Chain A
Amino acid sequence: MSVGAMKDQWYPVGLISGVTEEGRDSLLLGEPIRIFLDGGTPAVTGEGERPLPVELRYGHVWTCPGTPTRPLFDIPEADQLGRRLVDVGVCRVRCSPLRAVENFLDIAHFPFVHTDILGSEPHTEVTRYEVGIREDVDEVWATKVQFFQPQAAKSAEGGITTDYMYRVCAPTCSVLYKTSPPMPGEWDVIALFVQPLTETLCDVWPWMALYDDDASMTDLIHFQQLIFVQDRSVLENQLPALLPLDPGMEIPTRADLTSVAYRRWLKRNGFTYGAQLVAA
């Protein structure tokens, strides 16, 4: 196991609204951390009460166990008026944090894992889309992704072809943009912030910035939790548990171009905590 370059990246470690005076113990990249209120402000310490850098953004407390090589990524939509910001909460998953992100980037599983919600047979085809690394920001981007969905969001009525864009902005964080059913010209934003506890255990903190004035907060949260619990049944049953970065162990197709780019980007950056490098 090598923490390597991932030590210097940003990770979510809890909801800002959930931090208490007493604090909470957790793990980050296998090392113990503590999240607590210090004079009313969220603070994070590592081993030996070493203070770690803290950012408060997108409803979450962010920290970096090493020295941050770049600022926390920007999600400009978080500041747009008219969006509802949804802290979904946490879902603990016994899987590699990298497998959790890869699953989030995947649309081909919708008809089989999220049956009759995000996809349904016979609408299983994944059409060609575009994937690339945006070198200026060093992020993986997939665009022109389209998929037919029976109920794309809590606010959707009936099936629609949904447009998607995907963005990997940190080794364990991804943001997706999808057609907003009530505002077809705008994108809803759904993010998956993954806290790597160990190489095979993570806390997943979904977060959303939606155009939806009707649904109750509870319903929005339940919808996203339902989707993620369905994903968890897959994520905890993949062999091997670690994400294979070298070709040979798994077989991608054209539908998996985002995952292929994500794996290459991880390897190129030395983001290998939770990954398997040599085909077993």
Chain B
Amino acid sequence: MQTDWTPVALSHDIPVASAAPGRIGDTALAIWRSASGRIAAWSDRCPHRGMRLSHGYVRGERLSCIYHGWSYGEDGGCKRIPAHPDLTPPESIRVPVFACREASGVVWVAEGQPAGAPPDLAGFRGLRSLHIAAATGAIAEVFGGDGPVLRVKLGPVAVIALVQAFGDETMLHLMAPESCDLATLDALSDAAEALRRNIEAEATA
């Protein structure tokens, strides 16, 4: 499946009024959700002193850097510099903002102007994200296919694996059928961890 969109996180891992790190290609991302629930993905770097914004805090509709409290609005523009409370920050102080959409419980990000909507994965919901210390090739081998959106079996259950390849590391965002009960979700979660252990053991063998 070809798409301009990259799966960077599961929606339920970015609660309201919080920020978390992610990646697209070589770019570190701050993925954050405002008090009203709006999701966003920005370059993970405060332009002031380079501090990761994913360590920052959310108040209302703004993300603030944890280092000096510089706060940024929806468009990535700096709105406030606490060291100079009377100053209106210049327009030029701006965090690069990426296109970001949520669909089927997945946070999708794109560089530039993406064509079309993120993939429709109706009938599935986010299970968990796993960081795997192995190249994506090793994972493709286990699953018998490659690409960013894989429909595969985890034990007896048909799941979707969203794959982010980072050289010798991989991020997997696993999705389970909406119909799964809690016991099945627990079993899938265990199976996913076992899968990670096996792949990492193979990779270092």
A contacts, CB < 8 Å to B: 108-109, 111-113, 121-122, 124-126, 233-234, 237-240, 244, 249-255
Contacts and interface: CB of A to CB of B under 8 A. Distances in A.
Interface in B26-71: 28, 44-45, 47-52, 55, 65-69
Interface of B: 28, 44-45, 47-52, 55, 65-69, 81-85, 87, 93
A250 B85 contact: no
A253 B68 CA distance: 11
Nearest to A236: B52
B78 to A, nearest CB: 9
A233 B51 CA distance: 10
A124 B66 contact: no
B133 to A, nearest CB: 19
B84 A250 contact: no
A108 B83 contact: yes
Given A109-B68, A124-B83, A233 B55 contact: yes
B84 A253 contact: yes
Nearest to B81: A253
A41 B68 CA distance: 44
Given A126-B84, A251-B93, A238 B50 contact: yes
A238 B51 contact: yes
Given A112-B66, A112-B67, A113-B66, A254 B84 contact: yes
Nearest to A123: B82
Nearest to B65: A112
Contacts of B49: 238, 250
A179 B65 CA distance: 29
B67 A113 contact: yes
A121 B68 CA distance: 11
Contact of A240 (B50, B68, B84, B85): B50
Nearest to B57: A112
Nearest to B89: A253
Ranked nearest first, the 3 interchain pairs of A and B with the lowest CB-CB distance are: A124-B82, A255-B83, A108-B83
Nearest to A255: B83
Nearest to A259: B49
A234 B83 contact: no
Contacts of B50: 238-240, 244, 249-250
Tell me which of B47, B51, B55, B85 has the highest count of chain A C-beta atoms within 10 A of its own C-beta. B51
A239 B68 CA distance: 15
Contacts of A109: 67-68
11 contacts: A112-B65, A112-B66, A113-B66, A124-B83, A124-B85, A125-B85, A238-B51, A239-B50, A239-B51, A239-B52, A253-B81
B122 to A, nearest CB: 38
A121 B83 CA distance: 11
Given A251-B93, A255-B83, A112 B52 contact: no
A250 B82 contact: no
Contacts of A122: 85
Contacts of B82: 108, 111-112, 121, 124-125
Residue among B45, B55, B83, B85 with max Cβ neighbours from chain A (10 Å): B83
B84 A111 contact: no
Contacts of B44: 239
A214 B81 CA distance: 38
A234 B81 contact: no
Contacts of A244: 50
A106 B83 CA distance: 11
Contacts of A112: 65-69, 82
Nearest to B69: A112
Nearest to B94: A251
